[in-house]
Amino acid sequence: MSNAGLLVVTNPAKLGHMLQIVQSRVHKALYIQLESMESRGIACVSRLVSGVYSQASALCHKLDVRLLIKPLNQDVDIVFYDGQNSSLESFRCSKEKLELSLDDHPLSAKFLKLANEATSLETDKQFAHVVLGGTFDRLHIGHKELLSQAIIRCKRKLTVGVTDANMLSSKILNELIEPCDVRIEKVKEFLMDVDNTLEYAVVPISDPFGPTKDDPTMDLIVVSDETLKGGLKVNEVRAGKGLAPLQLHCVQLVEDLVPSHLRDLDTEDWKISSSSARMRLLGTLLKKPDPRPNIPSSPHLIGLTGGIASGKSKIGERLEKKGCGVINCDLIGHQVYEPGTKGLQILVDEFGKDILDDEGKVNRRALGKIVFGSKERLEKLNSIVWPLMLEIVQQKIKEFKRMGCQVVVLEAAVLARAGWHLKCHEVWSVIVPQAEAIKRLQERDNLSEEDSKARCAAQPPNSDHVRLANIVFSPSWSPEHTDKQVERAWAQLQSRLSSSSRL
pLDDT, greater one: 468 or 105: 468
pLDDT score recorded for residue 451: 85
Residue 259 pLDDT > 70, yes or no?
A: no
Predicted confidence at residue 113, as pLDDT, reads: 63
Beta-strand pair 2-9/76-81: parallel
DSSP string, 183-234: HHHHHHHHHHHH-TTSEEEEEEESSSSGGGGT-TT--EEEEETTTHHHHHHH
Among residues of the chain, what percentage have pLDDT more than 90? Answer: 57
358 pLDDT above the threshold of 80: yes
- Helix (H, G, I), strand (E, B), or coil: what is residue 255? strand
Q: Which of 51, 69, 68 is CA-nearest to residue 15?
A: 51
pLDDT interval class at 360 (50, 70, 90) = confident
Local confidence band at 354 (pLDDT 50, 70, 90 cut-offs): confident
Per-residue pLDDT at 398 exceeds 90 = yes
Report the pLDDT averaged over residues 227-248.
96
Residue 104 pLDDT exceeds 60: no
Q: How far apart are the first and last CA of the chain?
A: 24
pLDDT of residue 60: 87
- What is residue 122's predicted lDDT score, i.e. its pLDDT? 85
Per the rule left: phi > 0, alpha: psi between -120 and 50, beta: everything else, 8 is beta
Tell me the pLDDT band of 363, cut-offs 50, 70 and 90. Answer: confident
Q: Which of 231, 257, 256, 258 is nearest to 245 (CA)?
A: 231
pLDDT, position 368: 82
Rg (CA), the chain: 28
Predicted local distance difference test score (pLDDT) of residue 430: 97
pLDDT of residue 330: 84
- Assign 421 a pLDDT band (cuts: 50, 70, 90): very high
More confident residue, 258 or 104: 258
- pLDDT, residue 71, reads 87
> Is 197 or 105 the better-scoring residue by pLDDT?
197
pLDDT over threshold 80, residue 256: no
Is residue 215's pLDDT more than 60?
yes
- The arithmetic mean of pLDDT across residues 328-333, rounded, is 89
Domains of the chain in start order, with CATH, are 1-120 (3.40.50), 121-258 (3.40.50.620), 282-502 (3.40.50.300)
**Does residue 409 sit in helix, strand or coil?**
strand
pLDDT at position 140 over 90: yes
Query: 438-464 pLDDT, tens per residue?
Result: 999 899 888 888 888 888 887 889 999
> What is residue 198's predicted lDDT score, i.e. its pLDDT?
98
> What was the pLDDT predicted at 36?
77
Asked whether the predicted pLDDT for residue 288 surpasses 90, the reply is yes
Q: Do 108 and 82 contact (CB within 8 A), yes or no?
A: no
pLDDT at residue number 114: 60
**Average pLDDT, whole number, for the chain?**
89
Contact 10, 81 (CB under 8 A): yes
* CA 282 to centroid of chain Cα atoms: 9
CA distance 337 to 364: 11
Confidence of residue 402 (pLDDT cuts 50, 70, 90): very high
If pLDDT is split at 50, 70 and 90, which confidence band does 266 have? Answer: low
- What residues contact 160, with CB distance under 8 A and at least 6 apart? 131, 132, 133, 134, 136, 147, 150, 187, 191, 200, 201, 202, 203
Least Cα distance to 303 among 398, 418, 431, 410 occurs for 410
Average pLDDT of 420-425? 96
Alpha-carbon span 160 to 136, nearest angstrom: 10
Amino acid 29: pLDDT: 93
Confidence of residue 195 (pLDDT cuts 50, 70, 90): very high
**pLDDT of 197 above 80:** yes
In this prediction, residue 61 carries a pLDDT of 82
Is residue 472 pLDDT above 60, yes or no?
A: yes
**Mean pLDDT for the stretch of residues 65-88:** 81
Mean pLDDT to the nearest integer, 341-350: 88
Q: pTM value?
A: 0.87
Residue 184 above 70 pLDDT? yes
Q: Which of 147, 156, 146, 183 is nearest to 168 (CA)?
A: 183
